[in-house]
């Protein structure tokens, strides 16, 4: 009798472990777009998988922008809160999940950087502000460039960036990592706004060309 009870208990535990492993394997193999659909249905395990899958690369980007571990930890946490709250309300091309995540992370980190600098021209952070300035607007015409492979292979990105001229690297740094607008860059460098637009366009075009070469190699 005792043996039978132990055997039943053992089989129950095995079944639970098997189900847990099955769930784990299932979530590990879910594509990004399916993962977001599950998050839109408030599936917490899907959010956990998204965190495990992308938090390292997102954290690297955040630290490069804010340059402070505590602030970076805070921003990363806030990003996944935003995802949990806003994804069910969003309507975008699910094939752009990775690009959307990178853009959201950049926007949030730059906003945090500006607020920590006490830049007085920023509006109060609200739900409306978040929707307008933090959440990315992904378009069907976005050039994919296989950003996932390019950005994950960090050394390739760095090599492509290093092939730009110093001026081109500086413009990209100001615009992307420092959160400067084209107008602010023009004022900082004391050059016409049209020149800034041209420099950014040329820099990004050259970066794309270099990046494609690095990925192909």
At 23-59, the pLDDT tens digits run 454 788 888 888 888 888 899 999 999 999 999 888 9
Residue ranges of the chain whose pLDDT lies below 50: 1-23, 25, 138-153
Q: What's the rounded Cα separation, in Å, for the pair 66 and 75? A: 9
- CA 7 → CA 1, 2, 10, 20, 200, distances in Å? 10, 9, 5, 20, 69
DSSP 164: S
pLDDT score recorded for residue 217: 58
Read off the tokens for 131: 């929707």
Q: What's the rounded Cα separation, in Å, for the pair 60 and 93? A: 25
pLDDT score recorded for residue 51: 92
Q: Do domains 31-142 and 145-217 have the same CATH topology?
A: no
DSSP 88: G
Write down the domain spans for the chain. Answer: 31-142, 145-217
pLDDT score recorded for residue 60: 86
Read off the tokens for 53: 């899958």
Q: What's the rounded Cα separation, in Å, for the pair 149 and 29? A: 18
35 and 46 Cβ atoms separated by less than 8 Å: yes
pLDDT score recorded for residue 138: 46
pLDDT score recorded for residue 146: 43
Question: CA 172, 64, 208, 141 torsion: positive or negative?
Answer: negative
Read off the tokens for 187: 């004022």
DSSP 89: G
Fold topology of 31-142: Rna Polymerase Sigma Factor; Chain: A (1.10.1740)
205 and 145 Cβ atoms separated by less than 8 Å: no
Fold topology of 145-217: Arc Repressor Mutant, subunit A (1.10.10)
pLDDT score recorded for residue 214: 57
Q: What's the rounded Cα separation, in Å, for the pair 2 and 159? A: 67
pLDDT score recorded for residue 71: 94
pLDDT score recorded for residue 173: 76
- CA 30 → CA 46, 53, 101, 148, distances in Å? 9, 11, 17, 16
Read off the tokens for 80: 């996944």
* Helix 182-189, helix 193-216: angle, nearest 10: 110
């Amino acid at each position: 009798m005792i043996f039978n009870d132990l055997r039943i208990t053992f089989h129950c535990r095995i079944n639970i472990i098997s189900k847990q492993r099955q769930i784990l394997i299932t979530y590990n193999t879910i594509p990004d777009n399916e993962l977001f659909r599950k998050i839109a249905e408030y599936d917490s395990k899907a959010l956990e998988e998204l965190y495990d899958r992308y938090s390292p690369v997102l954290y690297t980007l955040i630290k490069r922008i804010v340059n402070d571990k505590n602030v970076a930890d805070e921003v990363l946490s806030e990003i996944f809160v935003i995802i949990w709250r806003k994804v069910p309300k969003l309507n975008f091309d699910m094939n752009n999940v990775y690009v959307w995540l990178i853009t959201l992370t950049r926007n949030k980190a730059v906003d945090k950087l500006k607020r920590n600098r006490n830049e007085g021209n920023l509006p109060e952070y609200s739900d409306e502000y978040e929707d307008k300035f933090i959440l990315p607007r992904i378009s069907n015409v976005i050039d994919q460039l296989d950003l996932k492979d390019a950005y994950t292979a960090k050394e390739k990105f760095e090599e492509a960036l290093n092939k730009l001229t110093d001026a081109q690297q500086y413009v990209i740094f100001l615009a992307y990592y420092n959160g400067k607008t084209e107008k602010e860059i023009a004022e900082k460098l004391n050059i016409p706004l049209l020149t800034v637009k041209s420099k950014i366009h040329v820099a990004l075009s050259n970066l794309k060309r270099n990046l494609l070469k690095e990925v192909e190699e």
